[in-house]
A = this chain, B = another copy of it.
Amino acid sequence: MINIEKTTLNAFDCLYEESELVVYGAPFDGTTSFRPGTRFGPAYIRNDFLGLETYSPYLDMDLREFKLHDSGNVYIPIGNTEKALDNIYDTAKKIVEDGKVPFLLGGEHLVTYPAFRAVYEKYPDIYLLHFDAHTDLRDFFFGEKLSHATVIKRCWDLLGDGRIYQFGIRSGEKSEFAWSDSHTIMERYTISTIKEVVEVLKNKNVYITIDLDVLDPAVVPGTGTPEPGGVGFKELMEAIHMLKDVNIVGMDIVELSPQYDTTGASTAVACKLLRELTLTALKK
């Protein structure tokens, strides 16, 4: 069992100052209601990333051609949600203020909120692209405003209507789906509209948040709440490749709970998405 790690992500070994994109981890799972364990996400990704080629035949690009930095994990004071989110915010804020693209590795989905907020403050005209099985549009969950189940609603508090695109959504309460009808642009079950969306958002500033449970549990069983009926890996990867036409200013991959999938396949998926997203964001 990995408790904690200091390893640097392979090929993300450029100095911070010289880098154009910075990965940072947030091993936080403090509001996870059922199966905890996303705190182990960044450690497993960093370890298994060594087994992945740095070259993408899909994009004919190699991570080694770019200036990338891994700044390690944000300090998470156990049991203090507010403080943990503040620390994530501070890290994201610094990266984005320094003119670099912040790429967050979760942790549970709530970590997206402070990370997104920091990026939003720099780019108030930003759009949010949200890939997930769940709506995440509750206002409260277990009595709390800040939760993995409310995180997109909190982002909407910042953005307002029409600026959030949701893909692959297949689970939520009836009221969440109803609310989304007039506040977000939601594609249920699939991500077939991505091409049109990219055309609409061409060259616009975009933040991408990928909850790995948007993928079918056959592809990523290592997550807190497996939701059968998800999208396939190739489907998601092709969608990611289309994003080269928007201006990606921030990203995250969340909800990997690697210890539930002892085969390592779920972590391998997270690693490959990390590579493809990074290269897509840096594509000229």
Query: Which A residues are closer than 8 A to B by beta carbons?
Result: 1-8, 27, 29-37, 39-40, 42-44, 46-48, 50-53, 55, 57-58, 60, 62, 72-73, 77-81, 83, 142-144, 146-147, 169-174, 177, 188, 216-219, 221-222, 225-229, 233-234, 237, 259-265, 267-269, 272
- Chain B residues positioned under 8 Å from A171 (CB to CB): 52-53, 57
Which of the residues B47, B58, B218 comes within 8 Å of A218, measured between beta carbons?
B218
- Distance of A118 from chain B, by nearest CB (Å): 21
In the bound complex, how far is the Cα of B6 from the Cα of A197, in angstroms? 41
User: Are the C-beta atoms of A174 and B219 separated by less than 8 Å?
Assistant: no
Tallying the copies of this chain within the complex gives 6
User: Are the C-beta atoms of A79 and B144 separated by less than 8 Å?
Assistant: yes
User: Are the C-beta atoms of A229 and B233 separated by less than 8 Å?
Assistant: yes
- Distance of A215 from chain B, by nearest CB (Å): 9
Given contacts A4-B27, A6-B6, A40-B2, contact A226 B77 (CB under 8 A): no
User: Are the C-beta atoms of B36 and A36 separated by less than 8 Å?
Assistant: yes
User: Are the C-beta atoms of A57 and B172 separated by less than 8 Å?
Assistant: yes
- Distance of A14 from chain B, by nearest CB (Å): 16
- Chain B residues positioned under 8 Å from A51 (CB to CB): 3, 34, 225
- Chain B residues positioned under 8 Å from A227 (CB to CB): 268, 272
In the bound complex, how far is the Cα of B44 from the Cα of A214, in angstroms? 23
A2-B43, A30-B78 known, 13 other contacts, Cβ within 8 Å: A2-B47, A3-B50, A4-B34, A5-B7, A29-B36, A32-B78, A53-B173, A57-B172, A79-B81, A79-B144, A79-B146, A80-B81, A221-B265
User: Are the C-beta atoms of B2 and A221 separated by less than 8 Å?
Assistant: no
Which of A5, A35, A37, A225 has most chain B Cβ within 10 Å?
A: A5
User: Are the C-beta atoms of B219 and A264 separated by less than 8 Å?
Assistant: no
- Chain B residues positioned under 8 Å from A39 (CB to CB): 36
User: Are the C-beta atoms of A262 and B262 separated by less than 8 Å?
Assistant: yes
In the bound complex, how far is the Cα of B62 from the Cα of A50, in angstroms? 34
